[in-house]
Amino acid sequence: MAMSLMNLAAACAAGLVIGLERGWQLRDQREGGRVAGLRTFALTALFGGLLELLSTPPWHLHVFGGLLAVAALLARARGPDDGHHDRGMTTAMALLTAYALGALAGAGEPLLALGVATVVAVLLYTKPALHGWLRLIRPFELTAALQLLILSLVILPLLPDTGVGPYAAINPYRLWWMVVLLAALSLAGHLAMRITGPQRGLMLTGLLGALASSTAATLAISRRVREQAELVPVATAAILAACSIMFLRLLVVAALVQWTLLKGLALAFGVPGALLMLLAAVQWWRGEVSPDRIAAMDGAEPFGLAGILLFGGLLAASAVLVPLVVARAGSTGIYLLALVGGAGDVDPFALAVVHDLASARPGIDTELAIKALGLAGLSNTLVKAGIAMVVGGRRLGLQVAAGLALVGAVSAVALMV
């Protein structure tokens, strides 16, 4: 008896939570003009709880009959369209949800019913904010988000978690998981750039854009400097910060895939990343350009489907090339592959090496992986100096190269330790 009373009280409370929000939103309507108010929601949820207590398993016919009765009453109460079709539909669905939550509480899940009722009330109350966010979403952002959901929730669970292909080097599940990880980082970096606002300038472009692609961030910054030469000091700091984020991002991704690399990579990636960030802070502090003069820059678009598939192809190719080169040329071949692969896109090579180490593939040990990853990162960093020189001009290129040369020397020493 006591438990049943508690469940019924929870059912009534769940209806009150949702009814409170609906009643407040529709408070300006005349009495009797609302589809349902505070009392109607509470009574509907309590009705669901009572019918659940009266029902007998396994069919619970009382609950289904009550649901049909509530739906019929709703249809009669709404009547013809009064110009508020969307509001009436939302309230109707909220009332049906309250009935279901009342039945859930009556079935012995009062806490779950109250929790879901709270979530429903929050969703209903935040309609203006949600609609405002919808208006701010750009088409390519929605496309990228939907693609990420398909990649992670549809394709990934279907892939086999076993090695296939030459040397059994390609594990479809693990490779695709890495693709999803990089795509998610790309989208997160883009959204962070938009939320923070482009007005904050080049430094945020370097810091947040590098979450998606430090090379793309360097290119965007260099293009802006070609248009506004007075931004060179700030742009130099932003590019150095982007390079720092690249090292730190690789450190995090590698540690997530194979945590045993964390200690070794802390020296190979952590030291250059920290030093680059320090140089960026000093250069930013010395910059003579007021932040108010920095023109707004749009963040780079997230990965499109073509970019994701290209990354997956590069990742698969690197996964095959790494054990092949190890078998044919040993560690020397891996180092050459690191220099060449890092010059283009360091992520596929780095993830392929980490994947092979995690799979305990012959010829790949922790020391070799750390040195190869360090060389790939160093190669990619030198390419950014070239981009700054060619796209941003001689002055920007020399300043970036000076900072990267110092970090390159430190990285070389760290790799030889």
Q: Residue 237: helix, strand or coil by DSSP?
A: helix
Give the model's pLDDT for residue 199: 45
CA nearest to 296, candidates 213, 194, 216: 194
Give the model's pLDDT for residue 407: 79
User: Which residue in the block uniquely carries the two structure tokens 């020493």?
Assistant: 413
Q: What pTM did the predictor assign? A: 0.58
Kindly indicate the confidence band of residue 295, based on its pLDDT and cuts at 50, 70 and 90.
very low
The pLDDT of residue 401 is above 60: yes
Give the model's pLDDT for residue 364: 58
305-337 tens-digit pLDDT: 676 677 677 767 766 776 676 667 666 677 776
Kindly indicate the confidence band of residue 343, based on its pLDDT and cuts at 50, 70 and 90.
low
Nearby residues of 150 by Cβ (< 8 Å), 6 or more positions away: none
* Average pLDDT for 8-33: 84
* Average pLDDT for 73-95: 69
The pLDDT of residue 82 is above 60: no
Q: Which residue has the higher pLDDT, 211 or 21?
A: 21
218-227 tens-digit pLDDT: 877 787 777 6
Kindly indicate the confidence band of residue 42, based on its pLDDT and cuts at 50, 70 and 90.
very high
CA 210/CA 207 separation, integer angstroms: 6
CA 381/CA 406 separation, integer angstroms: 12
Q: Which two tokens stand for residue 388?
A: 């700054």
126-169 tens-digit pLDDT: 988 888 888 888 888 888 888 889 989 999 999 998 878 776 66
